[in-house]
Chain A
Amino acid sequence: MLSIKSKPVIILILLGAIMAAAFTVSGCGQQDAANSSEKTDGAKLAGTLTIAGSTSVQPFSEVLAEKFMDNHPGVQINVQGGGSSQGVAAVISGAADIGSSSRDLKPEELEENLIETKLALDGVAIAVHPSNPVTNLSMEDVKNIYLGNITNWSEVGGKDGVITVVSREAGSGTRGAFEDIVMDKQEIAKEVIIQNSNGAVRTTVAGDKNAIGYLSLAMIDNQIKSLDIDGVKSNVDNIKAGTYKISRPFLYLTKNQPEGLAKAYLDFVLSDEGQAIIVEEGAISPQ
């Protein structure tokens, strides 16, 4: 009689016990992690490292971190996105051990005693639909298209058709690089189509035979065609040589000189093994 009536109570007490147990266990886990992160400068690497920032750098960080964790089983690396500005803010505040950025630092950010490590270069390609007969544009033409001064492909040697101009949202690192290098401080016209990722720009350009867009060179595939700018092809060699002008650095940022686990990770990224991964993933090794 008693046991039947009090069943729900017993269940609740059990539940409470389980929850309490779970809390204690997770508490222990955290303590372990805290202990181990102090042993970073021993012979065996261990501890946790947080990388946050640019979404353009994020896929590279993920692959690099995975490989690094394979080499050092005691290490846990958390890779987070958020954007370049978030990355800079996170490393300044200490929320991340390493910040990542896909643009050069702004003057006010440079004063914060940050150390830059350039892990890669990334080209920004100007892309059109594969059926577009135009293969080359001058930097001036690209600028005028984005200013809204040139609106028809026939003005730049193509077939008659109103240009669908595709751009990125305000604050994007890719847009920042494009504005600095191509637009020369002038505002992109307000009427242009805005997409909020490299992938969305690619889908839009691939689906519209009159479209033009800019995106990370690593994202170019057979759905879209990348244009020559001032007669220079957008490829790895030309970006390294500096003849293809539209490129930007991928940066890792640390507060003061990196040490311990952060230093070990950055050394790995700059090693031959790390740079091979970067090239494999589609960016350009700066060395």
Chain B
Amino acid sequence: MMEKLNTMVSTSSCSILAETQKRFKLSGEQFIEKILMLCAAISILAILLITLFIFSRGIPVILKTGLGNFLLNLEWAPTSGNFGIGAMFVGSLVVTFTALLWAVPLGLMTSIFMAEIAPPRIDKILGSLLELLAGIPSVVYGFFGLIVIVPFIREYLGGNGLSVLAGAIILGIMILPTIINISRDSIKAVPREYKEGSLALGATHYQTISRVLLPAARSGIITAIILGMGRAIGETMAVVMVTGNAAILPGNILSPVRTMTSNIVLEMGYATGDHQAALFATGTVLFILIVLLNFIANLASKAGRVNESN
């Protein structure tokens, strides 16, 4: 009975049903697309709002102090109205470059080893160990630095241990995974024919690596270094714990130093009024620096792709 009725209904209104079904399906698709678009819009909106907020809070103080004065003045005495982040600006760069100085050669050589020399099994083990290294929270690195590296420097190298060097050692370890992973991938991405051609011409394995593979992977390696640098400049917690945070120009590698990120995290708890705005201004400078570095990294990888296609 029911079936009969059904067929009757379906034959009589078959075309209408199909029509509604089609329309309904379409609107469902569209609905989901709209939802996904909304999600994307929300995350973009969040970035825009944060940017807008940082700039709107930071820029007035920079204008009031004068951009040159704000960036170059070495006097940071916020409670008496002296806002110069010169020492911190230099501090961030010094700690970062000291970290790159040892982490880049080590990272690069490790990535060559993993991509070219190590058997696949070892490569895999090293890869997962690196993932582990990248997953450790920065406060743990900082604590390790404070308990192990700082006393070591104090004991064997002098000073009180809270220093540029301690910060650079910790930061170097923290950016190793970034440098190694990206360089390894770019070495592995070099077309097989390059290597085979080089070996066929009679070059040794080492000659092939240094004359063919590394130049071919250059843009990826540069990207790795720049991204590592960005991470080092932005790192905060570990640095605050081991660098001593004196707002002075570091005279040598054992001298205490304060980075821009440290400056913000150190003083935000008690800062009010112009002092707080000056911390936002420090954040603005950091923000621009990081965006600039990412932009350069993008350019480098694009340039590399153009080279390859030629």
Contact = CB atoms under 8 A, between A and B. Distances in A.
B31 A12 contact: yes
A191 B76 CA distance: 12
Contact of B269 (A6, A55, A89): A55
Nearest to B159: A162
A9 B79 contact: no
B160 A211 contact: yes
Contact of A193 (B244, B265, B270): B244
B160 A164 contact: yes
A181 B28 CA distance: 71
A15 to B, nearest CB: 10
Interface in A1-15: 1-2, 5-6, 8-9, 12
A197 B151 CA distance: 20
Contacts of B79: 170-171
B147 A207 contact: yes
Given A190-B247, A194-B244, A196-B265, A210 B270 contact: no
Interface residues of B, number: 35
Contacts of B151: 207-208
B266 A169 contact: yes
Contacts of B32: 8-9, 12
A81 B265 CA distance: 15
B162 A204 contact: yes
Contacts of B161: 208
B221 to A, nearest CB: 37
Nearest to B255: A191
A192 B241 CA distance: 15
Contacts of B154: 208
A86 interface: yes
A190 B246 contact: yes
A249 interface: no
A8 to B, nearest CB: 6
A190 B78 contact: no
B78 A170 contact: yes
Interface string A181-215: 00000010011111110001001100110110000
Interface in B219-269: 240-241, 244-248, 256, 258, 265-267, 269
Contacts of A164: 160, 162
B153 to A, nearest CB: 11
B31 A194 contact: no
Contacts of A12: 31-32, 35
Q: Which of B151, B154, B160, B271 has the most chain A CB atoms inside 10 A of its CB?
A: B160
Contact of A171 (B21, B25, B146, B271): B271
A83 B269 contact: yes
B248 A170 contact: no
Interface of B: 21, 24-25, 28, 31-32, 35, 77-79, 146-147, 150-151, 154, 160-162, 240-241, 244-248, 256, 258, 265-267, 269-272, 275
26 contacts: A6-B25, A9-B32, A12-B31, A12-B35, A55-B269, A83-B272, A85-B272, A164-B160, A169-B267, A171-B78, A171-B267, A172-B269, A173-B270, A190-B246, A190-B248, A191-B248, A193-B160, A193-B244, A194-B258, A196-B240, A196-B245, A207-B146, A207-B150, A208-B151, A208-B154, A208-B160
Interface of A: 1-2, 5-6, 8-9, 12, 55, 81-86, 89, 162, 164, 169-173, 187, 190-196, 200, 203-204, 207-208, 210-211
